[in-house]
Amino acid sequence: MATPRESSGDAPLIRFLRSRGVKDSRVLDAMGRISRARFLPTNEQDQAHEDKAIGIGCDQTISQPFIVAVMSIELALTGTERVLEVGTGSGYQTAILAQLANDVFTVERHRMLSLRSRGILDGLGFTNISFRIGDGTLGWPEAAPFDRAIITAAAPIVPISIFKQLREGGHMVLPLGDAETQHLTVVRKREGKMVTQTGIACRFVPLIGEQGWNEPKA
């Protein structure tokens, strides 16, 4: 677990999340210590407190804060876990995970986004995050097994490589569905088998890779 350095925090966002019924105090504290604006492009920073996805370049978005809260709660982190994150994006969700888990391994397919988020997260003083540029649908075999995994892009199927890299008794959280709408889904590994639980509807940018969607044609 890590505590960010010199962050101004995010009180308005926490008030909003509470008003939406978010009660988990560890997740609220972790989100309250980080300023979401820091992860946005300069011209979008005034929108940091709106509960919507915002463009961060490369056609990608920073997730809605309410969804970040729900996914973080579903991961049920206690501070000891090794977590795989697919879709580093802005690095905002990564910053929340790094405060709630022991180690975070985050994969992003866009080099520019990975490098940018790394700069921000290093600047906040996090030392328990490892970054990789590549196809996260294949997981991170050298760092497995993981206690938890989170995919922050819309998956058409449960990526089997990631499931295999989960420890027995572990679970992953992902938006599962078609390109337009998905449902936040928890997939547990029980005696080697998948046990799936479907949650709220959501909308993410597509997960693109070997066990995701095909690369869009230019």
- Closer to ligand SAH at the Cβ: 168 or 210? 210
Neighbour order of strands in the sheet with 82-86? 129-133, 103-108, 82-86, 146-151, 166-177, 182-190, 193-202
Residue 93 interacts with ligand SAH (CB under 6 A): yes or no: yes
Residue choice 4, 139, 177, 209 for contact with ligand SAH (CB under 6 A): 209
CB of 139 to ligand SAH, least distance (A): 10
CB 130: neighbour CB atoms within 10 A? 11
CA distance 128 to 98: 7
Q: Which of 48, 83, 86, 100 binds ligand SAH (CB under 6 A)?
A: 86
Single out the residue of 110, 116, 118, 189 in contact with ligand SAH (rule: CB under 6 A).
110
Residues 140-169 that bind ligand SAH (CB under 6 A): 152-153
How many other CB atoms sit within 10 Å of the CB of residue 178?
A: 10
Which of 35, 72, 90, 165 is close enough to bind ligand SAH by CB under 6 A? 90
Is 92 a binder of ligand SAH (CB under 6 A)?
yes
CB 88 within 8 A of CB 114: yes
Determine if 82 is a binding residue for ligand SAH (CB under 6 A).
no
To ligand SAH, the closest distance from the beta carbon of 68 in angstroms equals 6
177 near ligand SAH, rule: CB under 6 A: no
* DSSP 8-class letter at 47: G
3-state secondary structure of 153: coil
- Which residues are marked as active site? 63
**Environment class of residue 15 by beta-carbon count within 10 Å: exposed (0-12), middle (13-18) or buried (19+)?**
exposed
In 3-state terms, what secondary structure has residue 83?
strand
Residues that bind ligand SAH (CB under 6 A): 60-63, 86-87, 89-90, 92-93, 107-110, 113, 135-137, 152-153, 205, 207-209, 212
